[in-house]
Every structure is written in structure tokens, then in C-alpha cells.
Structure 1
Amino acid sequence: MKPRNVAESITDLTKNFFAAFIVGTLVFTIISDGVSNLFWDMLQDRLKSEDGGLSYNWLRFAIVLSLIVLLLSINYFTNFAQWAQKHIPFFRPPLQTNVERLTTPYPGLVVAMSPKDDSPAETVIRFHWNEGQAEHLQHCWIICTNKSLPYATQMVQRFTEEGITQGVKFHYGSYRLPNINDLAEPPTLLVSDDKIDDPNYVQMLVNGIYVDAALKELDSSEVIADYTGATKGMTAGILLACTEPDRPLQYISQLNRDIMAIRVSYKLSQA
């Protein structure tokens, strides 16, 4: 068994309940209690050997309180965690991406419209609509170009005829997003021809979508972004905007047409 799998077995109950319970609950508890008792017993013996020293109980209280204050101060008033992750390999999170077949619909969806009738956007929208069941799509942001906008309009019209728009709000075309970058004009979901291959602009656009989702009381983890029908530049922008672990991604597999969820476990930051 690989070391990483052993770690998962003792920290994740869903991987191996028996191993997680025995090692995580019993063994670690015995070790921590043993170290703790050893420290306090040595401290108590040291105090007994000295005359006129502080009360053992008061000293124990002072040490515990000091440790709590120290840990809280490091966590909330310093950048120690970021420094440790940057300079100490042991503290660095694993850079890995988990890919699995998506089975649960999301209430929020970001899609890129292709300039054709059978756009992948319609496939993923219908998946998350989930036939209007208890868990289904509520808000959908459709990123369009001048070429794909007519196809998006026709697609939403079909959804209207089927009654889907009664339960889902579709935002596309001239829909204005929060102006988080102080542009001359608030950005819309219609990407102009000169911005199609600009990943930085698309990244800004997707970031604006997540701000808009928050205004609609949707958490970032409740909004999934699909990049199947996007151009290469738009795909890069969507990926850059969703490097945060709480922004899930998806795409349609070319092998079996399944919708695959990507769970990114790292975050990009400037050097």
C-alpha cells in the first residue's frame, strides 16, 4: 500500500473505517495522553523538589492559557501559516487534482456557449436541471460570443417552451455583472471578439460571476463552472478563476460523454 493511501485510511472514515477508528481514535489518543501526562508529571515533581514555588494547579492553568493565547495569536495576527507552506516542504499542501464522474446537480452553473445547435452547454444545463427534482439548477450564467449568442437565445427559448425557465434563471448576453475591476462599463456575459482569446479578461468575468452568485445567496462551492464548449483562451480564463478549492470545475468527457467533476486541491498565488 502506498504511503498516501495509508494516510487516507487513517484520516478518512470513508476510506477505511476500522483503520481510521483504531489509529486515529485510539492510538493517537493514547500517544497524546501519554506525552501530556509525562510533561505534567515531570513538572509536578520539579515543583515538589523546590520550596516556596508556585502552586501546581495555578502553574498548570497559566501554561495552558499561555499556549492558547500563543496559538490564537499566531493564527490570527501573523502570516506564519503562509510562511511555513512557502518555506517548509512538510507544510505544503499536495498539488493534485481529483477527477470523478459528477452525480449531483448544483444550484449554480457557469457554461460557455458554443456557436452550434448541439452545444455542450445544453447537455450540462439539462443535467443540473435534474428534471426539476428537489435538487436542481437555480441560476445559470451563460458566457457567449457574438457568434454563439443567437444559439444561446434559441436554447433558452427551448427551455422556456419546456417550462424549465420557471425554475431556473438564465443570465446571458447583455446581463451585467458586478463591476469588481472598476471598468468604464460594467462587464456583461457577452464577450466581444477582441476579448475571446484574453484569459485575463475571462478570468475577471468569471470572478464577477461568483460575486453575482454571492448576491443571489449562492456560496462559491454551490456554483460549478463548465469549460467544455469554451475556446482555448476562454478555457484558460475559466481555469484561472477556479483554482480556488471552493470553486468546482467540470467538463464533458470525450470518451464516454460523462460529466466529470474536477476538485482542485491547490490555489495559485503571485510570487
Structure 2
Amino acid sequence: MRNNFSLALKIFFSPETFVPFLIGSIFLAVLGNAVYDVLVNWFGATVPALLQIAVGALLIFLGSVWVLARQLSRVRPNVPLLGKRQPKQHRGLILMVSRPEPCRQAIRYHLPRLQRCWLICSARTLETANQLREEFPYICKSEPIVINDVYDPLEFRDRVSKIYQEQRLQGWKETDIIADYVGMTSHGSVGMVLACINKNCPLQYTPAQLDKNMNPHESLDPIEIVLN
């Protein structure tokens, strides 16, 4: 939010927008003088009244910047990491569930093309997986796949391979489904890659933007990994 607030201030005062800013400022100066005269007639020309008018104008300006910053945070796309490639949208998505935010970001990225999402989780993250099913009921149709041993890469491999096998029977291709291999343990990542490496199945990960303390605070758009 702080970055968006700074960007909003730059938009207000950027030299790149000087011409429209100049035209607008002339209009606002005339309008401002008229409003000022009205306020002086209402509140008087005493020092306390003028201070109230100045503080009120400052609060209105800061409020405008805040509103613009909120709008920027909603419409500004998450920029991919430099030199990385974003995947195309896929019909299917396999997710390993940990924090809900990167899972939401991965699902939303593949909409509106996304038709099915399979959630792989542990007993500890089952509640998060069920929450995602409630948020995306038409996408997360299947029950979450609970891994018994999160340190067994072969269990992850077998569960992911079973998804591809079942979908082939439904007429899907391996390339219709992309697997997000980050989210649980490193053993889970190894298992998912093992399930995909010989089938030419697409892979991705959903990176996070880190704060100054190296803690994730915002999920970015997924990054595609090409194995061959």
C-alpha cells in the first residue's frame, strides 16, 4: 500500500503529466478562489478560521491521494520477475496448499480459462484447502487430496500422477494441466516434479514479493518452468 501511495503522489506531481496538470491547475485555481471566498464568507477571515480552511484542504488532498492509491492497488497488475516467463492460462491446475494468498493468486491468474483445480494438502493445511473450495466452488470441485507423509516425495508423485491418469480418461491432455510445485515441503516439490518430468507436463511456481524483513506480503503472478 505504501508503494501505491508513493506512486499516486508521483502521478499528481510528475513532470511527465505537466501539461494536463497545468491545464487542470488553472481551472482548479479559479475554482479554488471561488470556493475560498465562499468559505471565508461562511467562517470569517480570522486566523483560526483560515487555519481550519487550510487543514480541511490538506485533508481533502490527502484523502484524494489515498483513494487513488487504493484504486492503483486494485487495477495495477502484478509484474513478473525480471527475465521470467509467465505461463499461458490452463484448463487445469494442481496446487500444493500452504498459505491461502498464493493459492488464490494462482487460481485467479488462470481464470477464466481454468475449469478444474486439484488441492493437495496435509492434515495441517486441510482447513485452508476447504476454505479455498468454498471460495472457488466451481473450480475446486474435488475433495482435497490429503498427504499422509509430507516427507515422502513418492507419495506426492503418485497422487499427482493419478490426477493426470484420471483426466486422460476424460479426454484431457497432459498439457491441459499445469502443476504449481511450490507450497508445501521440499519433498513435495520433488515429488510433483517427478510426476511431471517424463510427461512433458507444464510446471509453474507462484513467487512472493518480500518486505524489508524478507517476509512475504504479496503474491506475484506465476512463473513458468520449462524442463526440456
- The bucket for the TM-score relative to the shorter chain is 0.5 to 0.7
Query: What letter matches 1:149 in structure 2?
Result: L
**1:264 lines up with 2:227 in the alignment:** yes
Equivalent positions of 1:66-145 (< 5 A) are 100-114=84-98, 116-118=99-101, 120-128=102-110, 130=111, 132=112, 136-145=113-122
Counterparts of 1:159 and 1:146, CA distance in 2: 20
2:129 maps to what in 1?
152
SS in 1 for 2:142: strand
Q: 1:262 to 1:245 in 2, by over 3 A?
A: farther
The answer as to whether partners of 2:119 and 2:140 remain within 8 angstroms in 1 is: no
Matches within 5 A, 1:159-198: 159-160=136-137, 165=138, 168-173=139-144, 189-192=145-148, 195-198=149-152
Match of 2:160 in 1: 206
Q: Bigger relative contact order, structure 1 or 2, given CA contacts below 8 A and separation 6+?
A: 2
Q: Letter of the aligned partner of 2:93 in structure 1?
A: L
Give the aligned partner of residue 244 of structure 1: 198
Give 1:104 shift.
1.8
Superposed CA offset, 1:207-247 (max 9, x none): 11110121222100111100221211111101111112520
Contact 2:152–2:188 (CA under 8 A) maintained in structure 1: yes
8 Å CA contact retained: 2:203, 2:225? yes
8 Å contact kept, 1:144–1:172: no
Seen in structure 2, the aligned counterparts of structure 1 residues 254 and 158 have a Cα distance that, compared at 3 Å, is: closer
Could you tell me whether the CA contact under 8 Å between 1:244 and 1:264 is conserved in 2?
Answer: no
Is the alpha carbon distance of 1:201 and 1:110 closer, same or farther for their aligned partners in structure 2, counting shifts above 3 Å?
same
Pairwise CA distance, 1:156:
1.6
CA distance in 2, matches of 1:153, 1:258: 23
Equivalent residues of 1:253, 1:260 under 8 A apart: yes
What is the root-mean-square deviation of aligned Cα atoms in Å?
Answer: 2.0
Amino acid at match of 1:241: A
* Matched AA of 2:97: M
Look up the match of 2:187.
233
Cα contact 1:250–1:260 (8 A) shared by 2: yes
Q: Tell me the distance in 2 between the aligned counterparts of 1:252 and 1:237.
A: 17
Structure 1 residues 25-63: Cα deviation after superposition (integer angstroms, max 9, x where no partner):
xxxxxxxxxxxxxxxxxxxxxxxxxxxxxxxxxxxxxxx
Normalising by structure 1, we get a TM-score of: 0.47
Q: Is 1:101–1:258's contact at 8 Å kept on the other side of the alignment?
A: no
Partners of 2:97 and 2:184 within 8 A in 1: yes
C-alpha contact (below 8 Å) 2:157/2:194 kept by paired residues:
yes
Question: Does the CA contact (< 8 Å) of 1:249 and 1:263 recur in 2?
Answer: yes
Which one-letter code corresponds to 2:108 in the other structure?
R
Letter in 2 for 1:190: V
Structure 2 unpaired stretches of 5+: 1-82, 210-218
Q: How does 1:211-226 map to 2 (within 5 A)?
A: 211-226=165-180
Change (3 A) 1:154 1:169: closer
8 Å CA contact retained: 1:111, 1:121: yes
Tell me the equivalent position of 1:89: none
Does the 8 Å contact 1:203/1:240 carry over to 2? yes
| Conserved? CA contact 2:205–2:222, under 8 Å | yes
Q: Give the 3 Å change call, closer, same or farther, for CA 249–190 of structure 1 in structure 2.
A: same
- Please state whether the residue corresponding to 1:225 is helix, strand or coil: strand
Q: TM-score, normalised by structure 2?
A: 0.55
CA distance in 1, matches of 2:199, 2:162: 17
User: % of aligned pairs identical?
Assistant: 29
